[in-house]
Amino acid sequence: MKGRSVALKGVRSICLALPEVTERPSHGSPAWFVRDKKTIAMFVDDHHGDGILGIWCAAPPGVQEELVAQEPARFYRPPYVGHRGWLGVRLDVDVDWGEVADILEDAFRCVAPKTLVAKLDADADAGAGAGVDADTS
């Protein structure tokens, strides 16, 4: 249970730092939305008994295939949304939170309106990007 709460805290911290991102349950799991409409990521814990603690998130074209081929122990093609290029990221392995933050920022860029992507870029240029709360314990 501790691993779940640490992982959820880390993902939540990253997602809620993105412009106009909100959290609410979706299909029984925490999920994050841009302007309460478009999903950027879903938190999953043993979905239908698969034993995986992780996230499913939007990804730029080709990224899912590349990461799954490079590191199948960390990345996977999730059910239901994988055919649309979404990426499964395992959080029950040694997690690089900087990489997770980059993946979630890419997910945001895939679904957010251009105005919010521009806001994200302006915030990053000002030194206030999404950032990561490295202390997820």
Domain residue spans of the chain? 2-125
DSSP category for residue 83: G
Crossing angle of the two packed helices 97-111 and 2-16, in degrees rounded to 10: 50
| Model pLDDT for residues 72-120, shown as the tens digit of each residue | 999 999 999 999 999 999 999 999 999 999 999 999 999 999 999 999 9
Q: Are 10 and 95 in contact (CB under 8 A)?
A: yes
Name the class of domain 2-125: alpha beta
Q: Give the pair of three-digit tokens for residue 51.
A: 């034993």
Q: In the predicted model, is pLDDT for residue 22 greater than 60?
A: yes
Confidence (pTM): 0.89
